[in-house]
């Protein structure tokens, strides 16, 4: 059993040592809770549960604390993929829910498994999810001051359970100040992908991740026989050729954990029950 999570890049918010320490402390707490959950649950159940913990932490740009778009509204995206069944589900630009990943989980059993905008919100209401504002004073202040710099925060979780099954979940509050209607990579197979062989979650500039088809490329290369390190290296070499900004975490079916980034530094943690790694 293994689990790895990420919380975007340090560059997504303050570079202060205090902020870094807070994020690392939060990741440590969350990944320990996620691994404990994994002991008695499937990889799919675990990535959903752990991603809700990340969404509930205002230090990260997903769920509570999501970025505000150009028109003053918050729209979030999230998706999950079950490596065992190869089923993908997600929501795009959903508003007024606390945990977008839980809506994605509900959709996994539907025939139509990716919903967007108001219809995604209507679906959430029909399933009993209450309206919830994820706006924080810090995000509102950023919006009011028009801090129009690159926002690259996303959260994600990849898990391998005791039956050897893989799953992945990814959630984001967007890049901030984007044109309303912009689609994030987090609810596409470019940013979130898994099968029986490998599972990958990405963070960074969504357009670059989509241009590079990062998650699906890495998983496909592992499936075709490359080891996970080689698959990452080849994919990120191609991304660097277009000066793409991205990071990714992954686990293969053998339990190998790997991560890479084109620009430092991704915030991530990995845990197998014995060794806990926090990337600084």
Which residues are known catalytic residues?
Answer: 154
Q: Phi first, then psi: give them for residue 175, nearest 5 degrees.
A: -95, -10
Determine how β-strand 87-94 pairs with β-strand 114-116. parallel
**Residues 167 and 47: beta-carbon distance below 8 Å:** yes
Tokens 């999810």 locate to 129
Phi first, then psi: what are they for 200, rounded to 5°? -135, 135
């Amino acid at each position: 059993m293994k689990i790895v999570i990420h919380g975007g890049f340090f560059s997504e918010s303050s570079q202060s040592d205090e902020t870094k320490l807070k994020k690392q402390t939060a990741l440590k707490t969350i990944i320990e809770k996620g691994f404990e959950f994994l002991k008695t649950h499937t990889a799919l159940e675990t990535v959903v549960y752990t991603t809700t913990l990340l969404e509930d932490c205002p230090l990260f740009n997903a769920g509570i604390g999501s970025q505000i778009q150009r028109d003053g509204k918050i729209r979030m995206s999230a998706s999950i993929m079950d490596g065992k069944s190869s089923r993908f589900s997600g929501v795009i630009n959903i508003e007024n829910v606390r945990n977008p990943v839980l809506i994605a989980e509900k959709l996994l059993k539907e025939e139509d498994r990716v919903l967007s905008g108001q219809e995604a919100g209507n679906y959430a209401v029909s399933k009993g999810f209450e309206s919830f504002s994820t706006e924080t004073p810090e995000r509102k202040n950023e919006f009011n001051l028009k801090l129009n710099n690159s926002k690259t925060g996303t959260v994600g979780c990849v898990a391998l359970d005791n039956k050897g099954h893989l799953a992945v979940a990814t959630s984001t509050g967007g890049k901030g100040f984007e044109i309303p209607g912009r689609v994030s990579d987090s609810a596409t197979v470019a940013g979130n992908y898994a099968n029986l062989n490998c599972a990958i979650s990405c963070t960074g500039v969504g357009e670059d991740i989509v241009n590079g088809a990062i998650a699906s490329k890495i998983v496909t290369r592992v499936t075709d026989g490359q080891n996970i390190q080689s698959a990452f290296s080849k994919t990120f070499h191609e991304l660097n050729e277009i000066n793409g900004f991205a990071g990714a975490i992954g686990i293969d079916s053998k339990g190998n954990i790997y991560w890479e980034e084109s620009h430092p530094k991704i915030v991530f943690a990995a845990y197998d029950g014995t060794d806990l790694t926090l990337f600084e």
